[in-house]
């Protein structure tokens, strides 16, 4: 079975499980590798879905909001550990921090009032801090928190939230089919009757003052570009180092089963030992998911015009997993390194610390270290020169200094010796 056929088959199987239509795309190292769509975008018009069909992406909008916040942080307009009250006028003292709001550990209640009960459209002035839990007590998903983060973006940029995201994120990335209101060709949202197998049409809800939590529409091909951005950043939008910060786990959704964590605006799924970052989305008549594996930069987006049974989060991840299987990473041939500097040569080899054996080696022009016996690709540390010594720039004990002290090394405050030794009395 060829690569497109394998992905097409997964798409067909998903739509056949009682979904009006499903569109999907796979991105690999920044390039669109595959896209397709199956089913009807609109039954009344007898119009089929295509990869260019717009769907509501719901809470995937939150990743755009988080990106806007990180841009403002990088520009010095705010600090992630600032309290909301420092940037939004009229907010009560003791409000949660921006960091906790991004990671859904602010304790804020889930919704902005009862807008989904009453069918109302809130304005920015309707948003007030309301807590369901004490901050940092547990993960508690909050649309209200992201509505308020949209107010932070507006307050610190001097622009309407939607204008800011258009100008600073959507435009620079070339997401021409990502908009705040639907544009043709678009998918009509449906609710599939579980037993009669009929469909009801769903309305296009305007989120108004809480647009930052879930207003956007997009296509799978635009979301493929977004997945690539979430993996590596973009010079004119957000630096790779800031993207890495967004991926750092802030909380585990299931503390006893580490299958889902949250970074700064990103959902982090542990799927068969691989971490996929992104977000899901749900609005009336639409479900969405976009996820990417950062190490391989393989990701996928999946959209459906069904408000139930779609499960686009695991489906997008399954497409990415299949793509990783079909397009495995190339195996690079080994080549000998250039001779390391003399001071590096003296460091290389086996060392002991705290009773454990470590290996220091030279690779690709950098000093590396790891605990002996650690599986490849895990636990490595990379060092960079820092004055007369070294500093760990990535991996274990990142940020800590390494220096040569006579016949021993000192790293992160611990001695490393050529032979196993007990601690000094």
Q: pLDDT band at residue 1, thresholds of 50, 70 and 90?
A: very low
Tokens at 122, concatenated: 């809130």
Predicted local distance difference test score (pLDDT) of residue 2: 59
What are the DSSP E strand ranges found in 117-224? 190-192, 199-201, 217-218
> pLDDT tens across 209-248, in order?
999 999 999 999 999 999 999 999 999 999 999 999 999 9
Predicted local distance difference test score (pLDDT) of residue 106: 97
Tokens at 35, concatenated: 């896209």
> pLDDT tens across 175-218, in order?
999 999 999 999 999 999 999 999 999 999 999 999 999 999 99
> pLDDT tens across 109-129, in order?
999 888 888 878 888 877 889
User: pTM of the predicted model, to two decimals?
Assistant: 0.94
Please count the residues of the chain. Answer: 425
Mean pLDDT computed over 374-379: 85
- The beta-carbon contacts of 118-127 under 8 Å, at least 24 apart in sequence, are 121/205, 121/206, 121/207, 121/208, 121/209, 122/147, 122/207, 122/208, 122/209, 122/210, 123/208, 123/209, 124/150, 124/151, 124/154, 124/209, 125/209, 126/209, 127/151, 127/209, 127/210
- Domain regions of the chain by residue span: 19-326, 342-416
Residue 88 pLDDT greater than 60, yes or no: yes
Angle between helices 61-74 and 143-157 (to 10 degrees): 40
CATH superfamily of 19-326: DD-peptidase/beta-lactamase superfamily (3.40.710.10)
């Amino acid at each position: 079975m060829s690569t497109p056929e394998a992905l097409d088959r997964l798409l067909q199987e998903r739509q056949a499980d009682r979904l009006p239509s499903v569109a999907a795309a796979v991105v690999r190292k920044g390039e669109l590798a595959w896209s397709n769509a199956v089913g009807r975008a609109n039954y009344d018009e007898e119009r089929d879905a295509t990869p260019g069909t717009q769907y509501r992406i719901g809470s995937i909008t939150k990743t755009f909001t988080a990106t806007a916040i990180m841009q403002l942080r990088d520009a010095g307009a705010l600090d992630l550990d600032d309290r909301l009250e420092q940037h939004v006028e009229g907010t009560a003292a003791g409000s949660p921090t921006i960091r906790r709001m991004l990671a859904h550990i602010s304790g804020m209640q889930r919704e902005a009032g009862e807008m989904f009960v009453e069918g109302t459209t809130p304005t920015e002035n309707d948003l007030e801090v309301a807590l369901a839990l004490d901050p940092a007590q547990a993960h508690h998903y909050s649309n209200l928190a992201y509505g308020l983060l949209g107010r932070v973006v507006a307050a610190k940029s001097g622009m309407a939230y939607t204008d800011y995201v258009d100008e600073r994120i959507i435009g620079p990335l070339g997401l021409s089919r990502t908009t705040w209101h639907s544009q043709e060709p678009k998918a009509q949202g449906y609710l599939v009757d579980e037993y009669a197998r009929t469909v009801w049409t769903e309305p296009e809800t305007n989120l108004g003052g809480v647009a930052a939590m879930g207003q956007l529409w997009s296509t799978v091909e635009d979301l493929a570009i977004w997945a690539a951005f979430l993996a590596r950043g973009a010079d004119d939008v957000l630096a790779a180092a800031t993207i890495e910060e967004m991926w750092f786990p802030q909380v585990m959704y299931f503390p006893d089963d580490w299958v889902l964590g949250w970074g700064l605006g990103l959902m982090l799924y542990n799927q068969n030992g691989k971490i996929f970052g992104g977000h899901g989305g749900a609005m009336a008549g639409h479900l969405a998911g976009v996820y990417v594996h950062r190490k391989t930069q393989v990701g996928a987006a999946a959209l459906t015009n069904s408000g139930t049974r779609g499960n686009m989060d695991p489906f997008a991840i399954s497409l990415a997993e299949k793509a990783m299987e079909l397009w495995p990473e190339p195996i690079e041939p080994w080549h000998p390194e250039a001779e390391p500097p003399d001071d590096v040569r003296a460091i290389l080899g086996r060392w002991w610390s705290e009773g454990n054996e470590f290996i220091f080696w030279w690779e690709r022009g950098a000093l590396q270290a790891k605990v002996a016996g650690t599986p490849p690709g895990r636990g490595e540390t990379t060092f960079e020169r820092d004055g007369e010594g070294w500093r760990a720039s990535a991996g274990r004990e990142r940020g800590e200094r390494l220096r040569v002290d006579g016949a021993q090394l000192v790293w992160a405050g611990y001695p490393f010796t050529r032979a196993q030794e007990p601690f000094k009395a």
